[in-house]
Amino acid sequence: MDNFLLACVGRARGSKVSWAELYTRYRRWCADRQSEPVDAVKFGRQLDALRSEGVLRARRQGADVLCVDVKLIA
C-alpha cells in the first residue's frame, strides 16, 4: 500500500478524498499491476495507522471519512 500512496496520493492543501475513493483507486492500481489488493478492512486499518502517526489527517463528514489536504494524482 505504501507504493500506492507514493505513486497516487499527493499533498494538496484544502483538498479532500474519501477513504472509499482511495480504496477504489487502490484496487484499480493493484489490478493494473496484476497484484492482489488487501481487503477493505486491512486498507482502512493501514490508513488509520497513518492517521494515528500524524502522517495523514482525516475527519468525518456524515457517514464518510475524508482524508484532508490530499488528492489523487495518478
**32-66: pLDDT as tens digits:** 999 999 999 999 999 999 999 999 999 999 989 99
Inside any domain, residue 48: yes
Which strands form 57-61's sheet, in the order they lie side by side? 9-18, 64-72, 57-61
What whole-number distance in Å separates Cα of residue 49 and Cα of residue 4?
16
Q: Give the chain's domain count.
A: 1
Gap between the Cα atoms of 14 and 2, Å rounded:
23
Pseudo-torsion of CA 5, 58, 21, 74, nearest 10°? -30
Answer yes or no: is 51 within a domain: yes
Cell of 11: 499533498
Q: 35: which strand partners?
A: none
- Residue 74 domain-assigned (yes or no): no
CATH number at residue 22: 1.10.10
pLDDT bracket for residue 68 (50, 70, 90) = very high
Output the pLDDT for position 73: 94
- Residues spanned by the domain of 42: 2-69
Report if residue 39 sits inside a domain: yes
